[in-house]
A and B are shown apart, each in its own frame.
Chain A
Amino acid sequence: MSGEFWITQAFNGLSYGALLFLLASGLSLIFGVMRIVNMAHGSYFMLGGYVGLSVVWRTGSFAAALLAGALALALVGVGMERFFLRRLPGQTLGQALMTIGFALIFQDLALLIWGGDPYSIPVPATLQGVLTAGALRFPVYRIFIVVVAVVIGAALWLILDRTRVGAMLRAAVDDREMAQGVGIHVPRISFAVFALGAALAALGGVIGAGFLGVYPGADFEVLPYAFVVVIVGGLGSLPGAMVGSLLVGLLDNFGKALFPELSYFTLFAPMALILALKPTGLFGRA
């Protein structure tokens, strides 16, 4: 195992983790504020990719695809929250079931609208190519994913940590009733968080479509990864989602590179260990 191997694999893991962060940060926030286990979160990722695909086909613009995917799915997320999930306050099982129902409906809709053939979003020329440093090669697109994740992570952190809205949101995560009691409009916060979470997942979907493609089944393929990230990092915690994504990205990558036959084991055994030692996840609070 050369140094080249370790650096290349670490970089690959980092870039995959960055994509997972976009997906999982929204899931974590939604759970934190609303205690909803959103099984349709993977669908936002997939539908974002499909919407982005349609936009690229029509306009040829990758930036427009990112924007349209995020906006469209923010609307979908808000619609789900406003008209359906809000009617089942506190009913965790009912909500989870409802989100599964949505996920299945989204799956059929996508098949109906986009058909079942796999597609991939053409990446703009500036993001193609490879940066080389000696024998090391870093695909520009993967660097781009890392940069996007870092920018979004930093923005989220600033909002949560430094703004009034962020403080209200953190209060709602910590104790919903108390927050309501001191005059924070929690339903409005839920609404915003759902929009943001769905938009982030869709953004991940469009970006992911650039190297993973869009295809039926992508929704339920990424969902377990998102849950692992969120559960390991700690529900509702942004630093948790960051560290969790990085950890899962690296574990998945090195697991597959070193022991391909054990790829699930190398991902889930450390998860089990972390949860056994710290049941609330790395950054979660009881």
Chain B
Amino acid sequence: MGRLEVRMLAALVLGAGLAALQAPVVTEAQDGPIRLGMLAPLTGPFAQVGKDMVNGAELYLDEIGRVATGRTLELIVEDSEGNPSTALNKARKLVEQDKVHVLTGGLLANVGYALQPYIDGQKIPATYPVIAADDITQRKPAKWIVRTGWTTSQPMHPFAEWVIKHTKYRKVATIGMDYAFGYETVGGFQHVFEEQGGRIVQKIWTPLNTNDFAPFLAQIKRDADAVLALFVGRLAVQFMKQYEESGLKGRLPLLGGGTTTDESALPAMGDEAIGTLTALHYSEGLDTPQNRKFAKAFEARAGKIPSYYSEACYTGARWIVEAIKALQGRVEDRDTFLAALRRVSIKDAARGPMTIDAWGNPIQNIYIRRVDKVGGRLQNVVIATVPAVSQFGKYPPEEYLKLPLYTRDYPPCKHC
């Protein structure tokens, strides 16, 4: 054997060896666990909502045995503490250390905005099941983020139309939390309400640290037909109680953004909440087989009724799994994974049918709900369903996107 042959043989053997070494690595990567990284606040004032979120995601994964297309699903949860800089550090850990295939979760809009540049920079497929700040899928869309939740103003467009059609309220005063979530809720309502002949006669913004609402309630114009309120969590509980206490409940019927009577706060309210009309893409009281099954399973697991946050992460986990199934589990290529996440549609989600628009936000049912006592406890009873609502309402997206974002002063209060 000449030296050349020896070399060639050696090269062949070595090459085969290397190939043999590599081969299992390749299959391992495609059969190994798919890692889902989730961020939620598990300590601090938002800890309970964070737990509701994680419980929702875990419930769905347990239901499918934590397997999709033969690959194990591994959920890695990190505590964001509801703080943008902590969330960013934890996202880094999930993406760079744990090497998750997809990132999900997040509760507060400031966390959502803080993560956006990182997610786009890393090109890591991500979903936002809860964060609703309008512009994430509107004027400043994130390429790598698919929203499986909702935009803040999405339920308010059809809600305003419904109020015009089905009630006599034409003059509405608004009171809401003084930050983006409040502006986008009130703005979405005002936009459609005034276009259809209603008038917003007053806009009150309450500082986030308010706990005594008396100084604001005393200012509400008594000649309004109704009041639209937007609060979250304990603020919703306090507001509801003090609204009745101030004697306004009997005079001015209450309308609200969905969180004002969300199931995360509703059990803490008393009969004073009865009659409040709100709109959201979910209600625990939604009477479909899919939702009854979800609500029952969630209550058995968590010992409390599901809030919209729970459903958001339950369906959010399902959304990711549907994309994994569409790819037969081949999630390693990030571009195709992202494309699959942007193509999911679910006919029978707990909240109802969902498809997705080109900007990455679901088109889904909006439910008009009225708080009532059902079986001895308060429930958001669905009294009307507006099917297949887009984040742009009935406006053509291109036209809608030319309008400014809803802010504290937009739309301006012409009738104040």
Q: Which residues of A contact B (CB under 8 A)?
A: 5, 8-9, 12, 15-16, 108, 111, 115-120, 122, 130, 132, 137, 139, 141-142, 211-213, 215-218, 221, 252-254, 256-257, 260-261, 263-264
**Most B CB atoms within 10 A — which of A12, A117, A212, A260?**
A117
Known interface pairs A12-B218, A118-B265. Does A211 touch B238 (Cβ–Cβ under 8 Å)? yes
Known interface pairs A256-B216, A260-B206. Does A118 touch B43 (Cβ–Cβ under 8 Å)? no
List residues of B (175-224) whose CB comes within 8 Å of A's CBs: 178, 204-207, 209-212, 214-216, 218-219
List residues of B (247-299) whose CB comes within 8 Å of A's CBs: 247, 264-265, 267-270
A257 and B268 form a contact (CB under 8 A)? no
Residues of A within 8 A of B211 (CB): 212, 218, 221
A111 and B47 form a contact (CB under 8 A)? yes
Tell me the bound Cα distance from A211 to B272 in angstroms. Answer: 13
Residue of B nearest to A128 (CB): B245
Known: A211-B212, A216-B47, A216-B48. 9 other contacts (CB 8 A): A5-B218, A111-B43, A118-B234, A118-B236, A119-B237, A122-B270, A218-B211, A260-B205, A260-B206
Interface check B241, CB cutoff 8 A: yes
Instruction: Please tell me which one of the listed residues B209, B216, B237 contacts residue A213 in the complex, with CB atoms under 8 A apart.
Output: B237
Residues of A within 8 A of B218 (CB): 5, 8-9, 12, 257
Q: What 7 A-B pairs have minimum CB-CB distances, sorted nearest first?
A: A116-B48, A118-B234, A215-B234, A12-B214, A257-B215, A217-B45, A256-B215
Contacts between the two chains (Cβ within 8 Å), count: 108
List residues of B (283-326) whose CB comes within 8 Å of A's CBs: 304
A213 and B234 form a contact (CB under 8 A)? yes
Tell me the bound Cα distance from A9 to B206 in angstroms. Answer: 16
B214 and A213 form a contact (CB under 8 A)? no
B216 and A257 form a contact (CB under 8 A)? yes
Q: Which residues of B contact A (CB under 8 A)?
A: 43-49, 51, 178, 204-207, 209-212, 214-216, 218-219, 233-234, 236-238, 241-242, 245-247, 264-265, 267-270, 304
B46 and A116 form a contact (CB under 8 A)? yes
A9 and B245 form a contact (CB under 8 A)? no
Minimum distance in angstroms from B191 CB to a CB of chain A: 23
B48 and A117 form a contact (CB under 8 A)? yes
A130 and B237 form a contact (CB under 8 A)? no
Tell me the bound Cα distance from A141 to B206 in angstroms. Answer: 23
Tell me the bound Cα distance from A161 to B212 in angstroms. Answer: 33
Residue of B nearest to A214 (CB): B234
Minimum distance in angstroms from A153 CB to a CB of chain B: 20
Minimum distance in angstroms from B44 CB to a CB of chain A: 7
Residues of A within 8 A of B242 (CB): 211
Residue of B nearest to A4 (CB): B218
B210 and A130 form a contact (CB under 8 A)? no
Residue of A nearest to B207 (CB): A263
Tell me the bound Cα distance from A122 to B43 in angstroms. Answer: 27
Known interface pairs A130-B245, A211-B241. Does A260 touch B212 (Cβ–Cβ under 8 Å)? no
Residues of B within 8 A of A118 (CB): 233-234, 236-237, 265, 268
Residue of B nearest to A256 (CB): B215
Minimum distance in angstroms from A284 CB to a CB of chain B: 27
Residues of A within 8 A of B264 (CB): 117
A-B contact pairs, 15 of them (CB 8 A): A9-B214, A9-B218, A16-B214, A116-B48, A117-B48, A117-B268, A137-B246, A211-B242, A212-B211, A215-B45, A215-B233, A253-B212, A253-B215, A256-B207, A264-B207
**Most B CB atoms within 10 A — which of A115, A132, A212?**
A212
B247 and A130 form a contact (CB under 8 A)? yes
Residues of B within 8 A of A122 (CB): 270
Minimum distance in angstroms from A217 CB to a CB of chain B: 4
Known interface pairs A16-B212, A253-B214, A257-B215. Does A216 touch B45 (Cβ–Cβ under 8 Å)? yes
Instruction: Please tell me which one of the listed residues A117, A141, A215, A260 contacts residue B204 in the complex, with CB atoms under 8 A apart.
Output: A260
